[in-house]
Chain A
Amino acid sequence: MATTATVTLTSDISSGFGGITKTMTLTKAGTSNDITETTGFSRRKLAATAAVDLITMANELVEPNDNTAAKVYIKNIGNNGTIDKSQYVTISIGDTGGTTQEIGRLYGGDWLMMPVTVVDDMDVVAAPSTNDAVVLEYTMFFEEA
């Protein structure tokens, strides 16, 4: 039951950059055993600038094991097949009712893959830059507590 992610980066910024390709197999923390839980693949349409919890750690039906090897994938797919590179969604970690720490801006078409702690109130938070509709696709892989 394997989950793998391969990144390929190419760039002509520097003549000395030969590109990066790296594959990781998502495993449980500190082991070579495959990770076993996922939220499944989801999509959510946002149409207001208000910050929302994209993934609320305390609400997962399978309780995640805190501070292990969880990963989140998110992509800004625009809306109705139109990707607007001038619009973005700010992705943060924290609690919409409290404090959040910005990760960065996902412009139209951009994606991210990052580790998360899955600690309660360290949610994945999304805040669009405008009231125009934008759709995020996302999934999380984690360990059961």
Chain B
Amino acid sequence: MATTTAAVTLTSDLLSDNISVTTDTTCMKGGTTADGLDQMDMGYIEIATGTNFDLLDADNALNKDKANKVYISNDSTDETYYVIITIDATVVGRLYAGDWMFIPWGAEDATADIEIQAYTGTNKISYAYFHEGRTLTSA
């Protein structure tokens, strides 16, 4: 079984009793306890301003309603740079320079793409997508 783990450590001193969370999970295929996600895509792209792009395309029957995981990091260094992450025309939020996100991705229908648009300047984006397989396009 392929093994993919995702761990997070979250700390904050905003409260008088500090928040300190450390946890991890093994990324399994949807609904299973013995079979891990076994395929992945990853990349690094520079996104110019002015256009909303599909970062990950949900037009993919193999990955509909599964336990896919997506990691996106804004590797830009100028703190005023950011990207807006959208799923199917619904804005999820903004990733500023230095920010990252890690989410399950339902990809519940063909329009549920993960979209990304850069603001202020050309943003540098790293991403990784862990999944159960995707439909390959015939040559």
Q: Taking beta carbons and an 8 Å cutoff, which residues of A are in contact with B?
A: 1-14, 17, 20, 22, 24-27, 29-32, 35-38, 40-41, 67-71, 73, 75, 85-86, 88, 90-91, 93-94, 101-107, 109-117, 122, 137, 139, 141
Contact = CB atoms under 8 A, between A and B. Distances in A.
A72 to B, nearest CB: 8
Contacts of B66: 105
B135 to A, nearest CB: 18
Interface residues of B, number: 66
B14 A22 contact: no
Interface in B1-41: 2-15, 19, 21, 23-28, 30-33, 37-40
B14 A9 contact: no
Interface of B: 2-15, 19, 21, 23-28, 30-33, 37-40, 42, 65-68, 71, 73, 79-80, 82, 85, 87-96, 98-108, 112, 126, 128, 130
A103 B107 CA distance: 8
A85 B95 contact: no
Given A30-B96, A115-B85, A102 B6 contact: no
